[in-house]
Chain A
Amino acid sequence: MEILVCVKRVPDSAENEIEVKADGSDIKREDLVYSVNEWDNYAVEEAIQIVDRVGGSVTVASIGSPEAEEVVRREMAMGANNGLLLTDPAFEGSDGRGIAAILAAAVRKGNYDLVLTGAQADDGAAQVGGMVAALLDWPYASLVNMIEVKEAGVLRIGREIEGGNQEINEIQMPCVLSIQTGINEPRYVGIRGIRKVAAVEIPVLKAADLGLGAAEVGRAGARVKRADYFVPPAGAGAEILQGSTDEITAKLVDLLKAKGGIK
């Protein structure tokens, strides 16, 4: 099976305090620690496991600045066979649909049976996978937490729905699935693994290589425009306890007792 996995380089929100620039044009990106989107790591692991079982190959593709190469390489160190870096100044300022159009064009250039995305990325939009499927006119399922390869071109999949219940479906290939965390346990990538793929050539594709016109992608093609970032007016919010640890724990224990939190 030929599998393409879409991976996004994102600021690691567990590691960073995200701050909005004074003029609201962006967040402060200078000192951010970047990593691969959490959901995408599960998608790559799943693709590798499927290929281990039924054969084929895994290709990892990322759209972004040239730095996105580092996440492609990281996922290749996990065991993906090929990488693709989709980078072009014309891609900047794309909305979700623009990103999906670029990925769909990359899919058309290959011969894939299955495309995996993460369920969502740092923007929390959960949009790209479904849009890629629609552009390709392939069937789609979101929030997938189980994949079983059945006979001839059919996958048995589980979607994680509300309450953690699992919706079982059968879906025909080629198809696009967005992967939910917890589907597997992504393998650890050590420095050694990264070093092994350090010299591997990663093909770079630009808009022209993908047959994309400037009006379809980037700022020009975006029908959804991000106007600004802002810090919403703080609501009532929590009373932040101040003082020494001793003082804070004493206050907290009193509060917890009063609220029935200590039995």
Chain B
Amino acid sequence: MAAQMFAYILHKDGKADDSASELVSAARKIAPDAAPVAVVIGAGAGLDAVCAEAAGIYPQVWKFAHDALAYPNAELIRPLLQRVLPKGAVLLLPHTTFGMDVGPGLAVKLDAAYLPDVVGIDGLEGATLKVVRQEFSGQASTHLQADISGGAVISVRSGCFPPEETRSAGGQVADKSAEVGDLAARRRFVEVLQAEVGDVDITKEEVLVSIGRGFGDKENLPVAEELAQAMGAVVSCSRPIVDAKWLEKGRQVGTSGKTVKPKVYLALGISGSFQHMGGLKGNPFIVAVNKNPKAPIFQVANVGVVADVLEFVPELTKRVQEAK
């Protein structure tokens, strides 16, 4: 394949994000002999450490350092990428809050195809790339095809392209900072405010009773609380429960909430979106209760019960109380 491939390296505090090694796996699914270039943009002393790390994974690293790039402001980085990427480039990005900020607009500016939140890559046939996506929070999968001869921006879901065994790529770092050029943006980064810490720290709990939109109504909260109490567990939740203000933000599991690593996780009326599951680490024993037998949560749970949570959970609570 003629087009050059690039991977955007997310990094923080002088360390590359896990996505750095996943993007190279994704690139090799497009072309097994791909030699993608890692693009490292930032500022400060930590940037060379990130470049060195990237050079362990990628044969080539492009470094762009500038004080104004200390925080990854998509409105500065998009025009920079537009300037420095060659015509027809294929850029892989992680589908994170940064990827969503920079990617779609970049594809338009490069006049390239945009393939969002890709979970699988079937491969390239001629100039046509075939990828797999999910729709309806994972309830249906779809193949997308795009002619990428004019370039592509591909945002890749975390965890879908496991890193290959580490053999050092012995990559070369090219300092391209002189090409950064003019950095003016109509959006100015001010600061990051840390999420508030709540009344309980769900990240330290071993057993979580987690509730989702399937609980229907705030009045039903005690149904979950009683089960949690009987089990000696704590109630956590999916995002819609926090949006609706039933529970505070500190109880939310997921990419925009807490990352938890319990031993046992009960998912009650939760569909199993990747943003929710992204907050569940450490390979817990997962029990899912959902009225939809096709709910994606059953793909990742160990044990499932197809039932209405409001009917089933009180029965389970009774049984737990008896068993004690």
Contacts and interface: CB of A to CB of B under 8 A. Distances in A.
Interface of A: 11, 13-14, 17-20, 27, 96-97, 100, 119, 122-131, 133-135, 138-143, 156, 158-172, 175, 178, 180-182, 185, 223-232, 234-235, 237-241, 245-246, 248-250, 252-253, 255-257, 259-263
Interface string B194-215: 1100000000001100000110
A17 B195 CA distance: 34
The majority secondary structure among interface residues of chain A is mixed
Interface in B120-142: 130, 132-137, 139-142
Interface in B235-264: 239-240, 242-245, 249, 252, 255-259, 263-264
B243 A182 contact: yes
The CB with the most chain A CB atoms within 10 A, among B142, B232, B271, B312, is that of B142
Given A165-B195, A232-B132, 16 more contacts: A13-B136, A27-B136, A97-B108, A122-B135, A123-B133, A140-B105, A158-B193, A163-B256, A163-B257, A180-B256, A227-B144, A230-B141, A231-B141, A232-B141, A237-B298, A238-B288
The CB with the most chain A CB atoms within 10 A, among B97, B230, B258, is that of B97
Interface stretch (B42-50, B161-169, B302-310): B302-310
B303 A228 contact: no
Contacts of A230: 141-143
Interface stretch (B23-31, B56-64, B174-182, B314-322): B314-322
A126 B130 contact: no
Given A131-B114, A160-B97, A241-B305, A261 B231 contact: yes
B263 A260 contact: yes
Interface string B169-195: 000000000000000011111111111
Given A18-B136, A169-B190, A241-B303, A161 B239 contact: no
B103 interface: yes
A178 B116 CA distance: 16
Contact of B142 (A138, A229, A246): A229
B218 interface: no
B231 A263 contact: yes
Given A141-B187, A253-B319, A238 B104 contact: no
A31 B319 CA distance: 38
B281 interface: no
Contacts of A171: 186-188
B113 interface: yes
B243 A181 contact: yes
A166 B192 contact: yes
The CB with the most chain B CB atoms within 10 A, among A100, A164, A239, is that of A164
Interface string B275-292: 000000000011110001
B101 A142 contact: yes
B301 to A, nearest CB: 4
Contacts of B150: 223
B20 interface: no
B249 A164 contact: yes
Interface of B: 73-75, 95-98, 100-109, 113-117, 130, 132-137, 139-147, 150, 185-195, 206-207, 213-214, 230-233, 239-240, 242-245, 249, 252, 255-259, 263-264, 266, 271, 285-288, 292-294, 297-307, 311-312, 315-316, 318-320, 323-324
A249 B140 CA distance: 30
28 contacts: A100-B108, A124-B135, A126-B117, A129-B104, A135-B108, A143-B101, A162-B255, A163-B257, A163-B259, A166-B193, A166-B195, A169-B188, A171-B188, A172-B187, A185-B245, A224-B114, A225-B144, A227-B142, A238-B304, A240-B298, A245-B312, A252-B303, A252-B305, A253-B320, A255-B287, A256-B264, A259-B285, A262-B323
A126 B144 contact: no
Contact of A262 (B109, B231, B303): B231
Contacts of A126: 95, 100, 104, 116-117
Contacts of A259: 263-264, 285
Nearest to A167: B192
B143 A159 contact: no
B108 A11 contact: no
Contact of A125 (B74, B116, B145, B304): B116
A140 B292 CA distance: 38
Contact of A130 (B103, B297, B304): B103
A41 to B, nearest CB: 11
Contact of B303 (A159, A170, A185, A238): A238
A245 B136 contact: no
Contacts of B194: 165
B136 A125 contact: no
Contacts of A27: 136, 140
Q: Which 5 residue pairs of A and B lie closest in terms of their CB atoms, listed nearest first?
A: A263-B232, A130-B104, A261-B264, A238-B304, A134-B105
Contacts of A128: 104
Contacts of A245: 307, 311-312, 315
A113 to B, nearest CB: 13
A250 B114 contact: no
A99 to B, nearest CB: 11
A260 to B, nearest CB: 5
